[in-house]
Chain A
Amino acid sequence: MTSELKFLSFTSKEFQVQDGLPSMATEFRDLPNWSSLNALIFISAINDAFGVLISSTDLSKSKTLGDLFTIIQSSK
Chain B
Amino acid sequence: MAFSKIIGTKISGITTVLPYNKEDNLELSALNLKQKEELIKHTGIRFRHVAKEKAQSGKVLFKSGIEKLLELLTWDKSSLDVLIIVTQTAQSPIPSLACQIHGEMNFPPTTLAYDINSGCSGFVYGLHTASQLLVSLDQQGKRAILCCGDVSTSLTEEFDMAVKPIFSDAVSVIGIEGNKGGESYFNLETFGKGKNAISMQKNTTGDWMRMDGVDVFNYAVKYVPNNIKTLLERYSNENNTPKMYVFHQANLLINNSIMKAIGVEQSVAPNSLYDYGNTASASIPLTLSLNWASDKFGWGLFSGFGVGFSIASALVRIDEIKIAQPEFINI
Contact = CB atoms under 8 A, between A and B. Distances in A.
B217 A40 contact: yes
A55 B191 CA distance: 15
A72 interface: no
B55 interface: no
Given A36-B161, A41-B42, A53-B222, A47 B214 contact: no
A36 B218 contact: no
B215 interface: yes
Q: What is the predominant secondary structure among interface residues of chain A facing chain B? A: helix
Given A36-B162, A37-B161, A44 B38 contact: no
B215 A48 contact: no
B139 to A, nearest CB: 49
Interface of B: 35, 38-39, 42-43, 161-162, 212-215, 217-218, 221-222, 253, 257, 260
A32 to B, nearest CB: 11
Interface in A12-64: 35-41, 43-44, 47-48, 53-56, 59
Nearest to B256: A44
Nearest to B39: A37
Given A37-B38, A37-B42, A53-B222, A44 B161 contact: no
Nearest to B215: A56
Given A37-B38, A37-B39, A44-B257, A56 B222 contact: no
Interface of A: 35-41, 43-44, 47-48, 53-56, 59
B39 A44 contact: no
A50 B8 CA distance: 45
Contacts of B213: 36-37, 39-40
Given A37-B38, A44-B253, 17 more contacts: A36-B161, A36-B162, A36-B213, A37-B35, A37-B43, A37-B162, A37-B213, A38-B38, A40-B213, A40-B214, A41-B42, A43-B214, A47-B257, A53-B217, A54-B218, A55-B215, A56-B218
Contacts, number: 47
Contacts of B214: 39-40, 43, 54-56, 59
A47 B38 contact: no
B221 A53 contact: yes
Contacts of B42: 37, 40-41
Nearest to A44: B253
3 interchain residue pairs of minimum CB distance: A56-B214, A40-B213, A56-B215
Contacts of A40: 42, 213-214, 217, 253
Max chain B C-beta neighbours (<10 A), residue from A35, A40, A47? A40
A39 B57 CA distance: 34
B221 A35 contact: no
A48 B38 CA distance: 18
Contacts of A59: 214
A8 to B, nearest CB: 21
B35 A53 contact: no
Max chain A C-beta neighbours (<10 A), residue from B43, B161, B213, B214? B214
